[in-house]
A and B are shown apart, each in its own frame.
Chain A
Amino acid sequence: MTGGREEAPAFGSIGEIEQRFAAQGYIADRMLATTLFLSVSLGKPLFLEGEPGVGKTEIAKVMARALDTELIRLQCYEGLDSNAALYEWNYTRQLLELRLQEARGVDRAEIGDNLFSEAFLLQRPLLKALRSEGRRPPVLLIDEVDRSDEEFEAFLLEVLSDFQITIPEIGTLRAHHTPFVVLTSNRTREVHDALKRRCLYHWIDYPTFAREVTILRARLPQVELRLAGQVCRFMELLREHDFYKRPGIAETIDWARALMALGVAELNAAAVDETLGCILKYRGDNEKLYQMGLTGLVEKALMPGHDPSATGQPAA
């Protein structure tokens, strides 16, 4: 096994990852960039955990674009089994083939001999990632692995440690090249340690104020620095409280976009009220915010000391 090292290294340095990600509009901090770099260099899967909406899935997408390769995504759900994740036989085609062979008058002893060959195999994401013929190894995103069940975890463990798959009717299929694997989890349940041990682990936190402003400006270049600062400060304050679903970066971006669409230049209680649906998605959370006092929170967000436009560019 050659491990994850291809002929030409995918990234030369940690700094290069930061740059290539930034070029795709994803602001990665040094910690994340280092972990990504090591994950590629060691050929080990990357296990990403964090609250919903902090950009876990996005990392895999950006990675695929930065590496200029294919993204293969496996969305996990309870009851996901190998038929949906790995491969399935194409029964319809197999039955048709039988009829055709009969019609062609194939000898009885040989009829159906070729039914279990790769031609009748439906490739599901995992097999597709292993058999990918592209120039570069694909990025395999195994999304929300915490939603699958334990049997599936055990099965993943097997696939991810050897990067080969055994199909009883055919034999063992090896990976052409080791895909770059990203697993994400929202921590609705604890994923088994054995699986995590096979991976490099990275916890993605909500971004700091300055970083969130940078991210927002990278994703929405049209947004005024002043408004971006107010939006991010408001989000920062919101996240200090215990909501059923705390807003993530995705919400920040959506919200800023909504505010701009409404022509809001400066945050005010009325505008927040109108666009609250972008930030909080549960009725209980909305009620909680009103109880806390929406106006007070807006005023707090507008307090001086957090306006990045006043002090120049925020530190990245």
Chain B
Amino acid sequence: MEPSPAPRLPTLLEHVAGFSRALHDAGLAVNTGNLIDLCQCFQFIDIARRDDFYAAARATLVSRHEDIARFDAAFAQYWESPRQLVIKRQQDDPDDEDAAADSGRGARLMLPGDEDGGDGGERKSLALSWSPEEALAQRDLGELTEADVERAQRLIREIVAALANKRGRRHAARRHGRIPDLRRLLRDRSLYLADGICPLPWRSRRISRTRLVLLCDVSGSMQRYSRFLIEFMYALRRELSDLEVAVFSTHLTVITDLLRRRGVAASLREVADRIHDWAGGTNIGGSLREFNERYAPHMLNGRTTVIFLSDGWDRGNAAEMRREMGKLRQRARKVLWLNPLLGTPGYQPLTQGMQCALPYLDHFLPAHNLQSLAQLRACCAPSATEPMRQ
């Protein structure tokens, strides 16, 4: 409906850039290519119509259902009162902002109700008051008997073998396979030249390798099992090349690189150093959210099995935990939960955390000693693909 769009155009582009910035501030990553798509849309729609403009912006800039609410908020806020379009990116507070964002990451803690990614300062102060038990406890975890380690090692080798031995549906050429490879046969001219007698090429299903992500609870209530936990991490580490390990209590730390580096004793000290809240309180939902936001996009794929090691004692927000479990479940191939308490006679998974998690689990297993690992092995066997979800 604009009679002369020519003079408007530069301002419009600036607005689009400003809006993209607003989305970025709201935590929505906007891809430049998609911004260009949006600009291309303008030639087809009447940009004076708010609903059409909204539809075009949402279709091009959003690609996830979870982002729609945040997008809507940013949209309403920006287009109701577009900020003064001085592109004030670099001039205002580049250092402050970045530094705040970074340190906010390190000590990030999601609290119940803290969903809209409010400002970092408040979050930080809350983090200090959140968990009274969070103590800088240095634990010496290096006293393992050789026999224990060996036993665990043997079981874990079997588990890893079971995990890695899933046959995919894709085929690969093989010297000896199950299915004759007709395409290769026909392409190879020796068939036509040798009176129909020639070696038959084969193909077979490729083995698809599994990636394992281990999420270990190191909060106070899990303290008793920490030896087993560390043992488990290291044994897996030794056997599986594609493994990521993270530990959590009130927030989450990825320690894959630490496990990779040096000898057990030295690393354990460093692990305990790095995780300040070792043996503190628990916020599973918040930790999981941190994992989903920061690590899940590159750690999880359709081949990933996620293993939780936790007793499920949770002092975080139940709704958040359910939501985050749902997200995790969508991204991973399998989610297993190893609970040390499950081995205790008469134990019922009634804790809030366990209740939230159960609907999203493929397997819920005990993990109080090495024997329970045998059960894990059974679950990882190729035949055990039936999910236990009702």
Residues of A within 8 A of B (CB): 14, 30-31, 34-35, 37-39, 41-42, 44, 47, 49, 78-79, 81, 89, 91, 94-95, 98, 108, 111-112, 115-116, 149-151, 169, 187-190, 193, 196-197, 199-203, 284
Contact = CB atoms under 8 A, between A and B. Distances in A.
Interface residues of B, number: 41
Contact of A203 (B33, B65, B187, B302): B65
Contacts, number: 104
Nearest to A11: B44
A42 B52 contact: no
Contacts of B191: 98, 112
Interface string B55-84: 110111011110010000000000000000
Contacts of A150: 301-303
Contacts of B56: 34-35, 38
A200 B59 contact: yes
Nearest to A110: B192
Contacts of A78: 169
B34 interface: yes
A187 B330 contact: yes
Given A38-B44, A149-B302, A203-B68, A31 B330 contact: no
The B interface is mostly helix, strand or loop, or mixed, namely: helix
Nearest to B44: A41
B68 to A, nearest CB: 6
Interface string B148-183: 000000000000000000001111000000000011
B48 interface: no
A112 B192 contact: yes
B31 interface: yes
28 contacts: A30-B52, A34-B45, A34-B56, A39-B59, A42-B41, A42-B44, A79-B169, A81-B170, A89-B182, A89-B183, A91-B186, A94-B186, A95-B186, A98-B192, A112-B192, A149-B169, A150-B301, A151-B170, A188-B330, A189-B302, A190-B64, A190-B331, A193-B63, A193-B297, A200-B59, A200-B60, A201-B63, A203-B68
B86 interface: no
B37 interface: yes
Contact of B44 (A37, A94, A116): A37
B170 A14 contact: no
A197 B40 contact: no
Contact of A14 (B52, B62, B64): B52
A38 to B, nearest CB: 5
Given A34-B45, A38-B44, A111 B59 contact: no
B37 A42 contact: yes
For B34, B44, B191, the residue with the greatest tally of chain A CB atoms inside 10 Å of its CB is B44
A76 B9 CA distance: 43
A38 B192 contact: no
Given A37-B44, A201-B62, 4 more contacts: A38-B59, A151-B170, A169-B187, A193-B63
Q: Sorted from nearest, which 7 A-B pairs have the closest CB atoms? A: A79-B169, A34-B55, A196-B63, A200-B59, A91-B182, A41-B44, A35-B59
B45 A112 contact: no
Q: Which of A49, A78, A149 has the most CB of B within 10 A?
A: A149
Contact of B33 (A35, A197, A284): A197
A37 B33 CA distance: 19
A200 B297 CA distance: 21
A78 B333 CA distance: 12
Contacts of A31: 51, 54-55, 58
A34 B301 contact: no
A42 B37 CA distance: 8
B34 A197 contact: yes
